[in-house]
Structure 1
Amino acid sequence: MTNPLLHEITESAFLEADAGRRLFSHEYARRFAIIKLDAITEPWALSWCSDVIQPNTIVDNVSGITWIAVDERIAGLSMNGQIVFALATSTAVLSVQTFSSGVVVISESQAFVINRTCSIRSLIDFPDIAFDFELDNDDLRVELADGSKMTFSL
């Protein structure tokens, strides 16, 4: 499966999109895009607040789910374009990565471990802001802002 196509659009183009096809809609958004999956004809529109951060997209080749994250939001779209998972986090999402049995969503303060069935397997709270991280097989290594390092088994 190929990665979905993400194209930036104008605010007016975003507002013209069918409200039912807006995946993320921020009240004070500054950037706008559409994402088109291979298996559907109508794209999803999304908006976000950050001038610097681009949406994070990854396709889980086992489940076929496309994961999209930006700001404090994450969603999973099935191959036929249905929303199969949606979550708002309390801090900015840094990364979405696949591993042997699912997906891990890493935010500044937490990691969400999600099964391929789109159920949350576990929630890992970090004692400080995540500064850097590495996924090694089924282990998540996190370096925190205070300089300490921790390893979590997914």
Structure 2
Amino acid sequence: MYEHIGETRLWDTVLGFTCIVVLLLLRKVKDIKVSSGSASGEEVSGARAALAQALWFLSTTRNILVVLVCAALAYYFDTRKQTPFVLTGEVKPGLPSIGPPPFSATVGNHTYNFMEMASTLGSAIFVVPLLSILENIALAKVFCEYYFLYDINF
């Protein structure tokens, strides 16, 4: 990271930090307590329950909301032929063919075998799958808590 700090682009950094702040704020939205209000009746409690459920949904879907907003922002700038952010570029349509993963790769004039690729990845070869599993467990806990909180039966 320190070697390439000079290559940091301002708007990519601003977008990244803005996304982090928005994600952290949206994470706390589910903790907002909906007040009882002055009116009484069943419609008020129904409205409170709907608001509480909407806040929970907003907090739970925060990741996809940030991705969609950033994608819309990138599309907006792309249609205006402006490039404040570095974009991935064209993505081939369709699914990749089914087969074993590549055990060698050619980059430039050098062909890397599996051991060279694994050593280049370093600890990420274990960390990325572990983080994926932890993310799935965290999502399962969130949805499980929601179903127990609202006593939903299947």
Larger % of helix: which? 2
Shared fold by TM > 0.5?
A: no
Larger % of strand: which? 1
Q: Higher RCO, 1 or 2 (CA under 8 Å, sep at least 6)?
A: 2
